Structure 1
Amino acid sequence: MKSNAIVIAALAGVASTSPVDTRQNGGGDGPFGPGTYKTESSLQQHTIYMPTKSTGDTKLPVLVWGNGACSADGRSNVQLLQQIASYGYLAISSGGPGQQGSTTAKMMTDSIDWAVANAGKGAYANVDATKIMAAGFSCGGTEAYAQIWDSRVSTVGIFSSGLLDNQTAASHFDKPILFVLGGQSDIAYANGERDYKNLPANTPAWKGNINVGHGGTLGDQNGGKFGKAGLNWLQYVFRGDAQAKAYLDGGYKADGWAVETHAFDQLKPKV
């Protein structure tokens, strides 16, 4: 199988909720914020991010996330994931809050399985598991790549990452891909650039570079400019949001991004 060719390695019902310190403060500037996180006994070794305000009839698409260094601490990118949750998304990070050790691509697949099984039920009644994005930072990005053959995944996000083995595999990728890279000082820059260039002619992609190095602004409030690019991609792909489209089309210039697009006009939002 094609997925077996992608090597995962580091680059440098409603269940009861377990209490987590500081999560009540939350974060994010979205209309359903703050975003916060919790754990579920039915999904061990994962961290679930959700909006705190009612989303009413608004459905919640799903983001499954892999951390840098394949870290098992599900709070590794808390700023980014709380921001995304505050805009009406369910985000699932591999690894529990403060957990030690490493994650695997299978843990991300477990997130997808769980989201599909629980969407439409109980506390997740508004979750829409027909709209799933797999994304990750650095090693977590390679975990996201491993989900690209899963028919339940609509799009993939690569943050400071790229293929480590079978480096021509991108020539077979046929789902929309977001590349968020930290410029030439980013250790993953060459890999991400290579993958982008290897995409098939009809695969939609948006690639942004900003000179902030590996991981860039993920630790900044709301994930910084990396988070802004990721959120706008989600908002356009899953909601057809006009402001998000405007950002991806040229609004990014105000934030200093150097952008290339690939078959972008063939990207049809899944609304």
Structure 2
Amino acid sequence: MIRRLIVSCFLCLCSLATYSQIVKTKLIDNGGNGPYKAIAVSEKTLPDFVVYRPENLKKAVKKEGTLPILVFANGACANTSITHEKVLSEIASHGYIVVAIGALKMSNDENWASTEAQMLVDAMDWVVNQNENESGDYYQRLDLSKIAAGGQSCGGAQVMAVAGDARIKTYMMFNSGMGDMTMAGASTESLALVHGSVIYIVGGEEDIATNNARLDYERINHVPVTFANMLDGNHGGTFNEQYGGAFARMALHWLDWQLKGAADQSAVFLESDLSDFKNWSMDTKNFTN
């Protein structure tokens, strides 16, 4: 009996140590529509970011293996991801770790400040450190060879500003494109720094970013690139819809293909199989298979 109590107390202490860095949590869309209930957390070691993650990391890693990562920058280059949390939480519920710029907000008070693109680099640095931290929840549970960098609107420009970071495997530009402008430390010249696949997910003619994204797509000729256009999506896409709507589903097709090697997801892009995406168009180039 005494031995059983000691073991029980030890397991309890291990659990407390595992979650001791979490300051607060938030549940979005009841944890998402994926196989792993997701939570948004504020980490003591990363106060100016939100981590969207499977609540039960052990379960997710047992099924998925080490988890891929998405670092994310927000529309308006803002220091809050609350307007994107439905998409980001949904991605996490499918077995991803998402680190988004901006402290965790429990409600949208519309007060925000501008951020710097360097914060995406900081997010990647944190992920690397956490994967090596034996006392942390993420120890050896992250796949550092599978990092995506994504951003919406001005956040996409922040992605392009750090495009040369060798750790990035794929880029996700939501309602964003450089065109001929300069923003957030990025410009047309930043496209040359891209060294992995790129997807532009835009919202049709009413999306102010569509023309710039199209120009980027036409100009990128050295890496695989996709232009996914929700013709009636507007500049906000489906970020406010339950489970992130079609934008989240499109993003997951891309991430599962590019970071998890799920070849069955490629038909959406390579064959323009849009049977699950009403009123979308698709263009791709520079893919070898």
Q: Which band: TM-score by shorter chain? A: 0.7 to 0.9
Q: Please tell me whether the aligned partners of residues 61 and 132 of structure 1 are also in contact (alpha carbons under 8 angstroms).
A: yes
Identity %: 30
Q: Deviations over 1:15-66 (max 9, x none)?
A: 521124x42764321112x211101121120000101232143211100001
Please name the residue that 1:66 is paired with: 73
What is the deviation of 1:72?
1.0
Q: Please tell me whether the aligned partners of residues 170 and 196 of structure 1 are also in contact (alpha carbons under 8 angstroms).
A: no
Q: How many Å separate the matches in 1 of 2:212 and 2:261? A: 29
Aligned residue-pair number: 251
Q: How many Å separate the matches in 2 of 1:242 and 1:31? A: 20
What is the deviation of 1:244?
1.6
Q: Which has the larger radius of gyration?
A: 2
TM-score for both structures, normalised by structure 1: 0.86
Q: How many Å separate the matches in 2 of 1:232 and 1:147? A: 24
Please name the residue that 2:97 is paired with: 90
Q: Which amino acid aligns with 1:127?
A: L
Q: How many Å separate the matches in 2 of 1:76 and 1:199? A: 29
Q: How many Å separate the matches in 2 of 1:257 and 1:120? A: 42
Please name the residue that 2:273 is paired with: 251
Please name the residue that 2:170 is paired with: 155
Q: Please tell me whether the aligned partners of residues 35 and 49 of structure 1 are also in contact (alpha carbons under 8 angstroms).
A: yes
Q: How many Å separate the matches in 2 of 1:75 and 1:119? A: 26
Q: Please tell me whether the aligned partners of residues 28 and 86 of structure 2 are also in contact (alpha carbons under 8 angstroms).
A: no
After TM superposition, list the pairs within 5 Å mapping 1:25-174 onto structure 2: 26-32=30-36, 34-53=37-56, 54-57=59-62, 58-98=65-105, 100-121=112-133, 122-125=136-139, 126-163=141-178, 164-165=181-182, 166-171=187-192, 173-174=194-195
Q: Deviations over 1:127-157 (max 9, x none)?
A: 1122110001001111111221001111110
Please name the residue that 1:263 is paired with: 286
Q: Please tell me whether the aligned partners of residues 152 and 174 of structure 2 are also in contact (alpha carbons under 8 angstroms).
A: yes
What is the deviation of 1:102?
1.9
Higher relative contact order (CA 8 A, sep 6+): 1
What is the deviation of 1:254?
3.5
Q: How many Å separate the matches in 1 of 2:132 and 2:281? A: 40
Q: Is the alpha carbon distance of 1:49 and 1:172 closer, same or farther for their aligned partners in structure 2, counting shifts above 3 Å?
A: closer
Q: Please tell me whether the aligned partners of residues 203 and 236 of structure 2 are also in contact (alpha carbons under 8 angstroms).
A: yes
RMSD: 2.0
Please name the residue that 1:215 is paired with: 236
Please name the residue that 1:228 is paired with: 249
Q: Residue 212 of structure 2 is aligned with which of 164, 188, 191?
A: 191
Q: Deviations over 1:79-113 (max 9, x none)?
A: 01111111111000100112731221011111011
Q: Please tell me whether the aligned partners of residues 80 and 104 of structure 2 are also in contact (alpha carbons under 8 angstroms).
A: yes
TM-score for both structures, normalised by structure 2: 0.81
Q: Secondary structure at the match of 2:69?
A: strand
Q: How many Å separate the matches in 2 of 1:172 and 1:94? A: 22
Q: Please tell me whether the aligned partners of residues 160 and 214 of structure 1 are also in contact (alpha carbons under 8 angstroms).
A: yes
Please name the residue that 1:242 is paired with: 263
Q: Please tell me whether the aligned partners of residues 73 and 156 of structure 2 are also in contact (alpha carbons under 8 angstroms).
A: yes
Q: Which amino acid aligns with 1:91?
A: V
Please name the residue that 2:225 is paired with: 205
